[in-house]
Structure 1
Amino acid sequence: MRTIFFFSLLMLANAFTSPLVYAQKINVFDLKVEHQSNPLCIESGAPRMSWKLQTALKNTSQNSYEIRIGTDPKDIKTNKNIIWRVSKKTSQSILVPYEGPSLKPGCRYFWQVRVTDNHNNTSPWSEIQSWRMGITASDWTAKWIALPSADTTKASPLFRKAYRLNKDIKSATAYVSARGLYEAYINGQRIGDAYFMPGWTSYKHHIQYQTYDVTALLKKGDNVLAAMLGDGWYKGRIGFSHQKAFYGDTRALLLQIEVQYSDGSREILATDGQWKTAVGPVLASDIYDGEIYDARLEKKGWAHPEYTEDTDWQPVRVMEYSYDSLVGMNAPPVKKQERFKVKNITRTPQGDLIVDFGQNLVGWVELKAMGAQGTKITLSHAEVLDKAGNFYTTNLRTAKQQNIYLLDDNTEQIFSPHFSFQGFRYLKVEGYPGELTPEDLTAVALYSDMPQTGTFETSNPLLNQLQHNIVWGQKGNFVDVPTDCPQRDERLGWTGDAQAFFNTAAFNMDVSGFFVKWLLDVRADQHASGSIPFVIPDVLTSNDAGAAGWGDVATIVPWGMYYVYGDTCILENQYSSMQAWVDFITAKSPQHLWNNGFHFGDWLFYRPDDDNDGRAAVTDKYLIAQCFYAHSTQLLINAANVLGKTEDEKRYKDQLERIKQAFQQEYLTPNGRLVSSTQTAYVLALQFDMLPENLRQQAANRLVENIRSYGNHLTTGFLGTPYLCHVLTRFGHTETAYDLLLQETYPSWLYPVKMGATTIWERWDGIKPDGTFQTPSMNSYNHYAYGAIGDWMYKNIAGINPDEAGYKKIRIEPRLGRGITTASASLDTPYGVVSSSWKLENGIFKLSVSIPPNTTATVIMPGRIANTNGGQSNSAIIGSGSYSFESEIE
């Protein structure tokens, strides 16, 4: 391919900026504290502030910033009562630490920033933003309250207490937590719009509390505070062995509201022994099995001040639980997101009434119904229909995934669960009174409230559907923790899946707060030996094995978080965990060879029907383990370098050399062949630089030969797949990577798309070509692991790559592939949106890019490029702004 490169007028204009352009202003926007907008609970004594720059002026970077902080937004505008003001000459605009006087627990702080750029423009002061500090154990006056006797009922308990406030209210802040799940109310109004609170953490180590501004819900006069509890992950069924009450056998509520009155006085409203309790209409709720709701048992108005029928309610029991394990929530809460109308309502060959929402999603169905008292409506949920078109739930194993509603007498109501969620596309409706119409049902997606950061689209509609499926696999499995699947009796935070998918996840959505929270549990549940459990939070009580590719989440995700978000605190917080994991492997590896213990291996790799010529894709588990041993050691070295731990860096560099030597002695022949001649073996050995440099290219060539021998099909599983196309591209085989990506027959990424998938499947052939199913005991249709290809698509088709942590430096390097004539993608980085869009038309490759202020980028065009000086180059270094490039491709 011969390529001639043309700089566009847009790029040439960048070199000679007119005075008119210089006059344009710069603005500051998207202020965040610890990755969050206006957070209500910051526990760090030195919160870190970030902002983005907005300007039409090209080649713009920040020269300095000025921050001012106070406790009153009016005072800040007039420069009064400023508690901290700082000016620094620096380009740093992300994660700038607070360095002023000590911050007070529970206090709200307001801040704004302005900057000066390299063109001597000074921005106006930004909009005023805020954060609120968390509270400490000594700030709690509320008591944990529970049912009066042993908590043996499956029904959800209700709690309430009336209060009379005699003064005008200036502000009110609520702090709420529970053992179990809670929904809290003030005067009948729900507190907040989050679900499944207080979230799932390693409850044995810490339980989150949530902070809410409830000023608008309280009033002068009579008020009622109320709450309802569910079993959730704390007390309900969890794990494979039907275990219940894994964390505790008693649901309990903790609620405290600090009221500030207009006259400057203060009052605390809190759970105590004076609260009352009763059982409500939620007869049972379970994460796996669903919910049973009896509308006849509703206590009408029970959360309102006007309710007077609580004379038969019982006094609560005060529990002597500690406050020491309470931590403020630092992650995005689960919220209602997209809503789906009914696609169609049909009868199956077996006669079931089935509703199709057209998308495999996670959440629940809102049901509108009215009928005779006691009418029972059962909603069952499934991901797929079988070959004959019948409702299929065998792959759910023992999970019922079923919501049951018992109607009150001819009162129209809208029902949805309180403490359970389902994974489904199809709904079976039984017992509905009258004719069921599309207007009676709405599917609601619920997932952690992570802003979308990435977009990706090409001229290939199958690839676009694949991207859609990847995103919806992420949405469905990022419900507070990164689960493997959202529907069967599992839904656990499998570490292998999370590490494999992290890079793709960080392109699609802002997962910074999501993984900060989860990594706390990785560290908390790590064994004293340094091994990492298979799932986090750990409910499997797994032994001290520590499986390769699963336990490596301890190094892979922290490093990924640092590189995507530029967050060194992640490395500081997780460094001891990273080190403990590597040291655990070393302790199990005589002569630095990890060839013992339990390993999952390359989970769910392609298994051919026949193996007459010895090509079966079974990769030696210990070969895999040695590769990940090296990888985790390298990431620890990287972290030590960033954190200035020079002695550790040197020690682990020496260790890494011995690990690779041990690999070569054990698994590599003198001529460069691996003892496992599989795609995964070559992919991991090449990805992690396990081979001598002089043998790497021939190993990559062997990988291509293997792929060709399978008819351009992959054979990799959970551990090999994320790196497969990256390795091919790195060693000059991008064409083969495209062949794999665009392969439409099994096994491939597009095979499920052709079969009608709307999410990523657990298995390459979850539905076989003849319409039958894979092994039902392990056959999820919403599993994100194989969606890890999204990382390669963003980085190579669109060409968006970080060249420095946090995208301070960017590389735009699109790579052409057969049959794709257009591609575009964007990513909202910590500095702003970077975008890359190209089209190939009549032999002309046209690229448009946009680079955010305060960053620079290297643009690398396909092929060799002739420049105006007669030489050849295929790259250009640019500052912020929008640019166009062209090259002629023959």
Structure 2
Amino acid sequence: MMHDSTARMITPATELGSAPCFRTEIDLDTGHGDVVAATLRISSLGVHEARIDGQPVGADVLSPGWSSYEHRLRYLSHDVTGLLTAGSVLTVQVGNGWYRGRLGFMGGRAFYGDRLGVIADLEIRFADGHRQVVVTDESWTAGGSDVIADDLYDGQTIDARRRTAAPGWSLPVRVLDFDRGRLTPYIGPAVTRQDLVAPSKVWESPTGRILIDFGQNLVGWVRFTTTGPAGSEVRLRHAEVLEDGELGVRPLRDAQATDRFIRSGGVDFFEPTMTFHGFRYVEATGLSLAEADQLEAVVVHSQLRRTGEFACSDELLNQLHRNVVWSTKGNFLDLPTDCPQRNERLGWTGDLAVFAPSAAYLFDVEAFLADWLADLAAEQQAADGLVPFVIPDILKFQPHPPEFPDPDSTAFWSDAAVWVPWTLWEAYGSRDLLERQYPSMAAHVRRVRTLLSPSGVWDGSFQFGDWLDPDAPPDAPAKAKADPGVVATAAYYRSLTTVAATAALLGFAEDAAEFGALAARTRAAFNAEYVAADGTIRSDCTTVYTLAIVFGLLSTAAADSAGQRLAALVAASGYRVSTGFAGTPYITEALTRTGHLEDAYRLLTERSCPSWLYPVTMGATTIWERWDSMLPDGSVNPGEMTSFNHYALGAVADWMHRTVGGIAPLSPGYARVSIAPRPGGALTWCRSSLDTRHGRIAVSWTLTDGALEVTTTLPPGVTGILSLTGHPPVELTEGTYHWPA
């Protein structure tokens, strides 16, 4: 374990004016035979790139990512056996990254510290069993680099002329005061390069600027090879959209998203690996049209295995699903962020709380989210049970903006402490994760209990509520139709029932009874305070009926009545979306549960704004933050908060997987599965599959002249129930079967 090492965190004795490089020569002990194993364990304050004799020690980039640095600093372990020779040189370059760079939408940088550093130990084992350890200490030296500026929001500047200058490794280092007890191995995967995308179009804008369209809104950077006079510069600015025929940078707010490359006079290869951008379009200065056509976009995100697939007869729905996938990839870069392009890129808890089920189907995210949940638990414990708005929590370092006065636990956002672990339990069946997160889950619902009003509902503290209700004023996204107390109390009830179930599962009988009783009181308070005698729920809008139905706050008869009212409201809206962050992920499920499947399909397949398919008709390749991030005339929404890569509203993919595709777990980890496709709308076929911990589950169906045929495949050891409308349930076992209905 690295925290037991004698390695010290070192930093240059003086600032160098560029991303510092650290260096040591490795003198192998002699007389012990060949090197049979060598492991480098390394972390940094800032993002690092380690090399032995110029060769990268691993495929990772932007390591050690962003964790709650004051509580957890992660390290990676690399097998470097094949790289070591006598006299090898180990170098580590460190950039600002999340540690010292700009963070957040309120300005400010270097929230965690103002000195970059590296800590590493290299353990070498020889044929005779001898062990040699090389550690970071005062014997290392430091030097400057060709990276003369680097920031995640603003971009990176590389001066290739510095590559040919004298290395200047004579600068001393000093030891930083650092608690090695904060060091912890990665739980989740590292960030790596995932794909290369070539330009789909290169042209000159109306003002003569060279623009490149990569055809896909993606996250990463651009690399290329160039020649030109020494000191000449190439500048690349990135954005997601065009506006008035030019690069649309206004949605970036003050993020510059610009990389600069200064030529050496020879052949230069440039790749800015200490920043990242969310972009589809690039404006290039200092390149010809022909040179711009040779650029490569490098897709970067955490190393996640794709597990779930979906396709159907409606190509617009297929594009919607692809957009969900790309928004997941773009925002699952070391942590689950809200957006990857503007001056924000934070781990907002509310977005993930609703999107986790979709993510857990599309990718194997168990370790990725377990790592983030470890930060959540650490931040929460330090805040006396309060789950912050963002994880890691940088907002605590800044004055709270006026719209978030004295924040406390907040429905949906703080509920991520409960909903995300339970989602991972359902998807992967990992009891260990529930055991690790249970104290955090319980602490959340106990803290909220102190915030309840005397009537037992949660209505007295700040709430985001049904954030970004499409009917809310553009500059006041929290002013939704749904009463915030209704939204918060419904969410609290869901958390209570979930924590009670978790406590029972883990054998904490007293806790299970405590939370079960509190859930019953909260349900009764909700009905007494918010549900009228005629079944109307306070604020009488789609979100309140949706949450009451899906979260189980109503009796069967009341739920049926609520479903009728919900369907009527959906029809009255012209089947356009009328819900915000709270209601949107669940409204199709609420309609389905109450017998309004066709209304759910009409809502899903509506094309006018606001709807899921409106952005698709406008050429979207990712999920937008606002339904109208781009207006029908092609102009960008004039509001300040407009992202074209936000996964939250793509949470409807969960309903597509479960209801259209027909795959849902009946027991944790899909050891037992429900196969229950519900065809509707104008769909004539659908194929879905999921790689589970037990193997691959697949379902396909076709509808021809009203006749439904279903094919199911279950792996060994998995059982299930096939449920088709109008037919008795059928027990399923492993194998592939065809079911004409």
- The answer to whether 1:509 aligns with 2:371 is no
Structure 1 equivalent of residue 556 of structure 2: 693
Structure 2 equivalent of residue 364 of structure 1: 221
Structure 1 equivalent of residue 440 of structure 2: 577
Q: Secondary structure at the match of 1:428?
A: strand
Q: Is the 8 A contact 1:763 1:780 kept in 2?
A: yes
Shift of 1:502: 0.2
Measure the CA separation in 1 of the matches of 2:128 and 2:323.
55
Measure the CA separation in 2 of the matches of 1:430 and 1:259.
47
Structure 1 equivalent of residue 61 of structure 2: 195
Q: Which amino acid aligns with 2:458?
A: W
Measure the CA separation in 2 of the matches of 1:603 and 1:857.
37
Relative distance call for 1:312 and 1:692 in structure 2 (3 A) is closer
Structure 1 equivalent of residue 492 of structure 2: 629
Relative distance call for 1:737 and 1:282 in structure 2 (3 A) is same
Q: Is the 8 A contact 1:403 1:417 kept in 2?
A: yes
Measure the CA separation in 2 of the matches of 1:698 and 1:361.
44
Q: Is the 8 A contact 1:848 1:882 kept in 2?
A: yes
Shift of 1:330: 1.5
Higher relative contact order (CA 8 A, sep 6+): 1
Q: Which amino acid aligns with 1:210?
A: L
Shift of 1:617: 5.8
Structure 2 equivalent of residue 36 of structure 1: none
Q: Secondary structure at the match of 2:443?
A: helix
Q: Secondary structure at the match of 1:164?
A: coil
Instruction: Give me the TM-score of the superposition, normalised by structure 2.
Output: 0.96
Measure the CA separation in 1 of the matches of 2:234 and 2:255.
19
Residue 469 of structure 1, aligned match among 299, 305, 323: 323
Q: Secondary structure at the match of 2:281?
A: strand
Structure 2 equivalent of residue 393 of structure 1: 249
Q: Secondary structure at the match of 2:600?
A: helix
Moved more, 577-586 or 839-848: 839-848
Residues 718-767 of structure 1: per-residue CA shift (max 9 Å, x gap): 11111111111111111100001110111110000000000000001111
Measure the CA separation in 2 of the matches of 1:757 and 1:370.
35
Measure the CA separation in 1 of the matches of 2:232 and 2:344.
32
- The answer to whether 1:812 aligns with 2:675 is yes
Q: Is the 8 A contact 1:381 1:402 kept in 2?
A: yes
Gaps of 5+ in 2: 401-405
Moved more, 361-370 or 770-779: 770-779
Residue 192 of structure 2, aligned match among 335, 338, 344: 335
Residues 831-872 of structure 1: per-residue CA shift (max 9 Å, x gap): 0100000111233211111001111010112x323xxxxxxx
Q: Equivalent residues in 2 for 1:385-464 (5 A)?
A: 385-386=242-243, 388-409=244-265, 411-432=266-287, 434-437=288-291, 439-464=293-318
Structure 2 equivalent of residue 75 of structure 1: none
Residue 224 of structure 1, aligned match among 89, 95, 108: 89
Q: Is the 8 A contact 2:144 2:168 kept in 1?
A: no
Q: Equivalent residues in 2 for 1:125-274 (5 A)?
A: 135=1, 137-138=3-4, 140-149=5-14, 151=15, 155-165=18-28, 166=30, 167-219=33-85, 221-274=86-139
Q: Secondary structure at the match of 1:728?
A: helix
Measure the CA separation in 1 of the matches of 2:614 and 2:453.
43
Structure 1 equivalent of residue 176 of structure 2: 319
Moved more, 536-545 or 693-702: 536-545
Structure 2 equivalent of residue 83 of structure 1: none
Q: Is the 8 A contact 2:19 2:148 kept in 1?
A: yes
Structure 2 equivalent of residue 595 of structure 1: 459
Shift of 1:320: 3.0
Shift of 1:438: 5.4
- The answer to whether 1:298 aligns with 2:163 is yes
Moved more, 807-816 or 259-268: 259-268
Residues 595-643 of structure 1: per-residue CA shift (max 9 Å, x gap): 1111111111111799xxxxx9611111111111111111111101111
- The answer to whether 1:715 aligns with 2:578 is yes
- The answer to whether 1:551 aligns with 2:414 is yes
Residues 786-825 of structure 1: per-residue CA shift (max 9 Å, x gap): 1101100010111001000110100100001121001001
Residues 532-558 of structure 1: per-residue CA shift (max 9 Å, x gap): 100000001165512111000010001
Residue 769 of structure 1, aligned match among 626, 629, 632: 632
Q: Is the 8 A contact 2:100 2:113 kept in 1?
A: yes
Measure the CA separation in 2 of the matches of 1:321 and 1:532.
26
Q: Is the 8 A contact 2:23 2:142 kept in 1?
A: yes
Q: Is the 8 A contact 1:394 1:776 kept in 2?
A: no
Q: Is the 8 A contact 1:617 1:715 kept in 2?
A: no
- The answer to whether 1:349 aligns with 2:206 is yes
- The answer to whether 1:662 aligns with 2:525 is yes
Q: Is the 8 A contact 1:566 1:805 kept in 2?
A: yes
Q: Equivalent residues in 2 for 1:779-858 (5 A)?
A: 779-858=642-721
Q: Which amino acid aligns with 1:381?
A: H
Residues 359-378 of structure 1: per-residue CA shift (max 9 Å, x gap): 00000011221100000111
Q: Which amino acid aligns with 1:767?
A: M
Q: Which amino acid aligns with 1:392?
A: G
Structure 2 equivalent of residue 859 of structure 1: 722
Shift of 1:459: 0.7
Q: Secondary structure at the match of 2:105?
A: coil
Shift of 1:692: 3.0
Structure 2 equivalent of residue 605 of structure 1: 469
Q: Is the 8 A contact 2:74 2:184 kept in 1?
A: yes
Relative distance call for 1:259 and 1:468 in structure 2 (3 A) is same
Q: Secondary structure at the match of 2:514?
A: helix
Q: Is the 8 A contact 1:145 1:271 kept in 2?
A: yes
Q: Secondary structure at the match of 1:142?
A: coil
Measure the CA separation in 1 of the matches of 2:87 and 2:480.
70
Q: Is the 8 A contact 1:369 1:440 kept in 2?
A: no
Structure 2 equivalent of residue 495 of structure 1: 349
Structure 1 equivalent of residue 739 of structure 2: 885
Moved more, 814-823 or 838-847: 838-847
Gaps of 5+ in 1: 1-134, 301-308, 611-615, 866-872
- The answer to whether 1:645 aligns with 2:508 is yes
- The answer to whether 1:534 aligns with 2:389 is yes
In the alignment of these two chains, the number of paired residues is: 724
Moved more, 354-363 or 689-698: 689-698
Structure 1 equivalent of residue 374 of structure 2: 520
Relative distance call for 1:803 and 1:323 in structure 2 (3 A) is same
Measure the CA separation in 2 of the matches of 1:743 and 1:204.
47
Q: Is the 8 A contact 2:37 2:81 kept in 1?
A: yes
Structure 2 equivalent of residue 38 of structure 1: none
Structure 2 equivalent of residue 25 of structure 1: none
Shift of 1:273: 0.9
Measure the CA separation in 1 of the matches of 2:580 and 2:434.
29
Moved more, 601-610 or 457-466: 601-610
Shift of 1:154: 5.3
Q: Which amino acid aligns with 1:602?
A: D
Q: Secondary structure at the match of 2:290?
A: coil
Q: Which amino acid aligns with 2:211?
A: I
Q: Secondary structure at the match of 2:235?
A: strand
Structure 2 equivalent of residue 281 of structure 1: 146
Q: Which amino acid aligns with 1:718?
A: F
Measure the CA separation in 2 of the matches of 1:850 and 1:412.
54
Q: Is the 8 A contact 1:605 1:716 kept in 2?
A: yes
Structure 1 equivalent of residue 403 of structure 2: none
